[in-house]
Amino acid sequence: MPLPPDNSAAHSPTAVHDFADYAAALKLELPAVATVQPEEAARDAELAAAVRKHYVQNRPGPESFPSMALQVITLLGRDDADIGRLAQLISRDPGLTASLLRVVNSAIFRGVQRVSSVRDAIARLGLNEAGRVAGAAAARALFDARGREHTQPFVADFEMLYVHAVTCAVTSGWLATQRGGAHADRCYLGGLLHDIGRSIALRSAAALRTQGFADFVPRSPRTHRVLELLHSSLGADVLTLWQLPEFVIEFAGKHHASGLASGEGDPDLHIIALTSALQLLRAAPALHPGAAEDLLVSARALGLTPSALATIDTERARFERLARSLATG
């Protein structure tokens, strides 16, 4: 669905909108944000220091990044990418093949006939969308808590992080194709990995819980606040260790309002920040008090009208359904 033209004077791209304008277009009601008392904030800081120490002592090396995801993403960035090359790559991995076929035959994409081959799945979805689905499925290992005793209590937390990552990746990639000057491949990869620091920090928090840090409770506000304190710096650090492109590292460190000013001229960064903030406001607004400001800064930087943002949100909801189908497979 393309972004709608909006030629009215009240909603022209040059008009300056407040968050209330965007919230009204999205039919979004923000709950009151709970106040964190000084003693709670001090304990959050102590826990964050413990998580950071554990992370430093157990840094995940480059082998932790799924090589298949990187291969798929790299292929999509090549000028000579085609259906045959992508089909051959996906077919090497039975799990990836199963994920792609499950998605293409889901209610989101289902056509008249059921698809049973990777090549037919790519033909139905299109090269870029099929590649993004495959890349997201391959990256599932970065958010998988199953099979590890200490992370098992946090399965729902990791699933939520994965849904957020995939929704942001696919929405950002789509939005980049609607705008001049943006790069769909950069936006997709940046959307997938901009918040990877939360998953990395949560792994350390889960490990510390087994060592007696009872404060780390699954899906609790305190655990979330600790991840919020750490995710940008840990994300940038681990992406550097994994030798990911410099722009991905930058997106991880600058996708909130405090870092967006320095990236004012980069539409890719603002696309990722916008889609991330929009997803957070839909999924858990009470836990993300800064998301409204992030959305406002980036919507203004991209010149988006409230009606255009509502269109983006419609696509985001569709892509979130895709992300959930990958998460539950």
Burial class (CB within 10 angstroms; exposed 0-12, middle 13-18, buried 19+) of 57: exposed
DSSP 256-303: SHHHHGGGTT-HHHHHHHHHHHHHHHHH-GGG-TTHHHHHHHHHHHTT
Tell me the pLDDT of the chain (329 aa) as tens digits: 566 544 433 444 456 899 999 999 999 987 777 788 999 999 999 999 999 999 999 998 887 777 887 788 777 767 777 888 889 989 988 888 998 898 888 877 766 678 889 999 988 888 888 888 888 888 888 888 766 788 899 999 999 999 999 999 999 999 999 988 898 888 998 999 999 999 999 999 999 999 999 999 999 999 999 999 999 999 999 999 988 889 999 999 888 877 776 656 789 999 999 999 999 999 988 888 889 999 999 999 999 999 999 999 999 999 999 899 888 76
Measured CA distances, 114 to 94, 101, 144, 305 (Å): 18, 9, 29, 39
Q: What is the CATH number of domain 17-58+144-327?
A: 1.10.3210
Q: Using CA atoms, how far apart are residues 238 and 230, in angstroms rounded to an integer? A: 12
Ordered by start, the domain boundaries in the chain are 17-58+144-327, 62-142
What is this structure's pTM? 0.88
Residue type, 260: L
